[in-house]
Amino acid sequence: MTDQDQQQDQQQDQQPEERYDLVIVGAGSGNSIVDERFADQRVLLVDDGEHFGGTCLNAGCIPTKMLVHVADVAAGTRDAAALGIRASVDAVDWPAIRARVFGRIDAISEGGREWRESGMANVTLLRESVGFESPGVLVTASGQRIAADRIVLAAGSRPRPLQAVYAPDPDIHDSDSIMRIDELPASLLIVGGGYVAAEFAHVFSHLGVHVTQVARSAHLLGNLDQDVSTRFTTLARTQWDVITDCEVEEIERDGDVLRSRLASGHLVETEAVLVALGRVPNTDTLAVRNAGYDVHEDGRVVVDDRQRVLAGGEPVPGVFALGDISADHQLKHVANHQARVVQHNLLHPDELIGGAPGPVPQAVFSRPQIGSFGLTEAEAREAGPVVTIEQPYSSTAWGWALEDTTSFCKLVVDPRDGGTLLGAHIIGSDAAALIQPLLTAASLGQRVTGLARAQYWPHPAVTEVVENALLAAESAVADWARENGAGLAPAGADRP
């Protein structure tokens, strides 16, 4: 029998294709695409997660922040003595905390699943994994073949595994499982130095768990501006044990404890381990290479600025990707924006849109909180002239009220033509909210010069730290212009 005959026989043995107008793989931000405007299309929504609705809802942004708030309340008792109040946490009712979080989360997840199963007659929900057989053809785990005119890849990501020697153990968790544990361990080793690790270290340490965090870099949150990263690492060491410049090589069970051997030779014994090393895109589970799509070295699907998937460097007609499976930033607000772009482009194929609305902000909900966007000082200095401002919270009345001597707002500014805000980095109370007016200014191309003076700033609110930073930046830009014989553009002039 020839190869052609064998191929024909295999094709005959295959199940016939079930054809749809649109297939969306992933029900996180991808779930928001289909509304009544797609009523004339046959749509398949695929989601094989244990809980419907994607990472953010079930194991990411939302439940973690609900836990962070609880930890913030508990941590506040530790700082109360400086304000003249003696307070302590008498007990932590973890089952009640967990029930509050997931009583809300699971109800939303279940409601979303029920809506997608029965809310729109033209939408079918498939709770099964799929992978590409060939371009435009997917195969389910049970062998069903699915073909579509248009496909959206929104399958998200999964926790990055630990590259160490260890056997599966019910007390070794990742960020997807740790929040649903039955009871708090007495001690916890957290492996990782990024924002996921930093947030969980805050949560569990302030709920009474003895936390040890191990990071391979010299500072925690090493991707942030160095001043912020250094300050956060210093403050973290006052709240939980931190070991930097080190990796975990082996974990073994020894009775009731897990013994983690570090590259330094030290042993850390804890009741539980949390692996929090970030996330990897689910491109491999989708077998996207079978479709011939381009893939970055880190596993992300390659897309253009209109979210179209590329193959051989060219956009594939009707195939889009969004969120963690393709994005430079694994952030929900990025995925949501990209979902809106994809939705528009599906509805208006002759009027495609694209592009980011401005710098991408990120927030770390640890203790202290961090809000950041744009270039770090080091990155900016590689590109051209820079002035920086580091404005302490303690320069404001609200900072005095907080007895805050460690928090600050840092601005990174190109001093030419009135000062372009290249980046902003805030560490301290409400940093995730404080970053927004600076982000708005940068996104709209507003100059630093005149920005603080063009509006009122409530006194004595914490926003005054941003006002003072902008005023200081305006002065620094003017000084630079005088020293370099440069003029200033009118306040609010468009970015070059």
65 is known to lie in a ligand binding site: yes
Active site residues: 459
DSSP 414: E
CA distances from 40 to 27, 94, 124 (A): 20, 48, 13
112 is known to lie in a ligand binding site: no
Question: 465 phi and psi, to 5 degrees?
Answer: -65, -35
335 is known to lie in a ligand binding site: no
Cα 161 from Cα 266, distance rounded (Å): 22
485 is known to lie in a ligand binding site: no
30 is known to lie in a ligand binding site: no
Residue type at 248 in one-letter notation: V
What the block records as the tokens of 189 is 């080793």
How far does CA 334 lie from the centroid of its chain?
9
Cα 321 from Cα 310, distance rounded (Å): 10
194 is known to lie in a ligand binding site: yes
Name 125's bridge partners.
Answer: 45
What the block records as the tokens of 383 is 């590109």
Q: What is the CA radius of gyration of the chain?
A: 25
With tokens 């544990």, the residue in question is 181
With tokens 């070059």, the residue in question is 496
What the block records as the tokens of 464 is 């005054």
196 is known to lie in a ligand binding site: yes
278 is known to lie in a ligand binding site: yes
Terminal Cα distance for the chain, rounded: 67
Residues listed for the chain: 496
Cα 335 from Cα 323, distance rounded (Å): 4
Name 268's bridge partners.
Answer: 260
Per-position DSSP letters for 445-472, written without gaps between them: T-BSTTTGGGS---TTSTTHHHHHHHHH
Closest CA to 338 of 433, 330, 366, 50: 330
295 is known to lie in a ligand binding site: no
Where is 151: in which H helix or E strand? strand 145-153
428 is known to lie in a ligand binding site: no
192 is known to lie in a ligand binding site: yes
Q: Phi-psi bin for 353: left (phi > 0), alpha (psi -120 to 50), beta?
A: beta
Q: Phi-psi bin for 397: left (phi > 0), alpha (psi -120 to 50), beta?
A: alpha
Residues 6+ apart with CB under 8 A from 117: 125
**Residues in binding site:** 65, 192-199, 278, 324
List, as residue ranges, the binding site for NAD(+). Answer: 192-199, 278
Query: Binding site for FAD: which residues?
Result: 65, 324
